[in-house]
Structure 1
Amino acid sequence: MSFKTIIIVIISVLVTLVLMNNTDEVDFWLFGDARIPKLAILGSMFGLGLIVGFILGRPKKKVVEETYDDNQNDIKIIRDNNHNDLSDEDREYIR
């Protein structure tokens, strides 16, 4: 088993133990009093934490900036000048 799998199993067991030992009902205020099992509150908060952690843990998208290279003609001139400096053997190799 890999390290990641072992950690996932340990966390799953711990979450299950905590949820199963907190099944009694509590008064919960959500725009009004309600008696809700601790299991539902803890489970929903754990699920919400997983979702938020997944969203915040994703790699960010890279932004590609488009730029205009004004030196494009200069590069062509440099290539043409370098072409004259090549030997016949080098020209054959490039082709």
Structure 2
Amino acid sequence: MKTKTLLIISLTVLITITLMQNTDEVNFKVLFWNLYLPKLVILTGTLFLGIIIGLILASRPSRAEKYEDQNNYQKPNDTLSPEDRDYISD
């Protein structure tokens, strides 16, 4: 198996074990609400929220890439014929 596959399997097993060990309910305070939720729900929600934020940030171009794109701007090829130039300039 490839290293990446082994890493994904190992992380999945570790995350699953951690989540299954934390099933007891806890008082979770959100602003004005008191919620009694299993740790499993809180940890799973936090995990998915982190994955989503990571994917969003990874898909955005970095500032360096934006700067390079602005500096490498090339003008489009000139497709006007001399006759068209004369017509426009008159």
TM-score by structure 2 length? 0.65
Counterpart in the other structure of 1:5: 5
Larger Rg: 1
Q: Percent identity?
A: 40
Q: Which amino acid is the alignment partner of residue 13 of structure 1? A: V
Find the aligned partners of 1:19 and 1:39 in 2 and give their Cα distance: 5
Tell me the alpha carbon deviations over residues 12-53 of structure 1, each in whole angstroms, 9 at most, x when there is no partner. 000000000000000001131111110000000001111111
Show structure 2 runs of 5+ residues with no match.
Answer: 77-90
Deviations 1:26-85 (CA, angstroms, capped at 9, x unpaired)? 0001131111110000000001111111111236275453548xxxxxxxxxxxxxxxxx
Distance in 2 of aligned mates of 1:9 and 1:53 = 20
Which residue of structure 2 aligns with residue 15 of structure 1? 15
Task: Supply the distance in 2 between the matched residues of 1:2 and 1:59 (Cα, whole angstroms).
Answer: 28
Ranges in structure 1 where 5+ consecutive residues have no aligned partner = 69-95
Match of 1:41 in 2: 42
How many residues get paired?
Answer: 69
Scaled by the length of structure 1, what TM-score is found?
0.62
**Secondary structure at the residue paired with 1:23?**
coil
CA distance in 1 between counterparts of 2:74 and 2:34 reads: 56
Q: Give the Cα–Cα distance (whole angstroms) in 2 for the partners of residues 66 and 41 of structure 1.
A: 50
Q: 3-state SS of the aligned residue for 2:41?
A: helix
